[in-house]
Amino acid sequence: MKLINDTGVAFTREMAPELRQPAGLIFNMMLPFLFLALFAPLLSSMGDVGQGSESHWQWFAPGILVLLGLSGTAGAGAALLNEMVSGAFERMLVTPMSRGAMLVGRTLKEVVILLAQALLIIAILLPTGFHLYPLGALAGLVLLTVFGVGIGALSFTLAIHSKKQQTLFYGIQQVAFFPLLLLSGVLLPITEDSAPTWLYVLSRINPVTYVVEAERHLFAGRFAEVSVLYGTIAAVAIAVLGVAVGIRGMRNATV
């Protein structure tokens, strides 16, 4: 009971400024927007990138949602880092609030924002060749949520461990972000034929790849694909890992 209550307190605290300024939502969506506006049009001239006859939007959009999950929530720890430096986090740590709830509440807020942004992107894509399969899209958003929980929690964990050296947070975040993105096949397909073997192998090691592939199937309304299973396993694994190390980090957090 106290856990739920505390999670609610942490969530409400983080959510309040977002609700007051919903336009802020759009600011950390710049990267996905830019890719949609300036990169996606190139795909149509490149011919067949995806599965057969579908529009290139159908292939590209799910990847962009994963990119959104990666870019938006990965920065979540930055706000926490600021609070750690100022003393606001220290003050929260002295209250009897559950430390696990502090992490979960914050992560939930990131996920709510992520979902709102994802819905916005889907709405923008509706007039294009993107076809919405409602059930598949719903499942895709659930998968995205699980993935976002993991990335958000990992970002908080990174922030907690960077308290002595803030540059560590931004350094690791940047160093991790681009390889995870580029090696996931979000922008261009990475297949055994099209990519050098080493790159292909790296992309197969990258868990984000599986999430992207699962999203593509789900948003095309295909559930019965083994990729969906793999993607779900990858997302759940990231979430479990993120929340586990995050709660551990929060519990042991000192100042």
Partner 1 sequence: MIHTRGLTRSFRARGETVEAVRGLDLDVETGSVVAFLGPNGAGKTTSLRMLTTLLPPTSGTATVAGCDVLADPAGVRRRIGYLGQGNSASSALRVLDELVTQGRAYGLNRSEARARADQLLAALELESLTKRTVGTLSGGQRRRLDIAIALIHEPELLFLDEPTTGLDPQSRANIWDHILRLHKEIATTVFFTTHYLEEADLWAERVMIVDHGRVIADDPPEKLKADLAGDRITVGTADATDAARAAEVARGLPTVHEVTVEGTAVSVRTTGGDAHLPRLLRRLEDEGVQVSVADLTRPTLDDVFLTLTGRSLRESADADSAPSAMFQGA
Give the C-alpha distances (Å, rounded to integers) separating 50 from 38, 60, 110, 188.
19, 8, 30, 9
Give the whole-angstrom CA distance, residue 82 versus residue 63: 30
Q: Which is nearer to partner 1, 91 or 204 (CB)?
A: 91
Asked if 122 touches partner 1 (CB under 8 A), the answer is no
The tokens of 147 are what? 């993935």
Write the interaction track for partner 1 spanning residues 209-248; mark x where CB under 8 A is met and - where it is not. Answer: ----------------------------------------
The window from 7-15, 54-62, 124-132, 205-213 that contacts partner 1 (CB under 8 A) reads: 7-15
For the chain, how many helices (H) and strands (E)?
Answer: 13, 0
Which residues fall within 8 angstroms of residue 34, CB to CB, at 6 or more apart? none
The window from 88-96, 125-133, 155-163, 230-238 that contacts partner 1 (CB under 8 A) reads: 88-96
Minimum CB–partner distance for residue 13 and partner 1 (Å): 5
Burial 135-165 (b: 16+ CB within 10 A, else e): ebbebbbebbbbbbbbbbbbbbbbbbbbbee
Asked if 167 touches partner 1 (CB under 8 A), the answer is no
The window from 60-68, 94-102, 107-115, 118-126 that contacts partner 1 (CB under 8 A) reads: 94-102
How many residues make contact with partner 1 (CB under 8 A)? 24
Q: Which is nearer to partner 1, 5 or 194 (CB)?
A: 5
The window from 32-40, 93-101, 167-175, 200-208 that contacts partner 1 (CB under 8 A) reads: 93-101
What single-letter amino acid sits at 215?
A: E
Give the C-alpha distances (Å, rounded to integers) separating 55 from 68, 132, 135, 192, 221.
21, 12, 19, 23, 14
Residues binding partner 1 (CB under 8 A): 2, 5-6, 9, 12-13, 16-17, 79, 82-83, 86-88, 90-97, 254-255
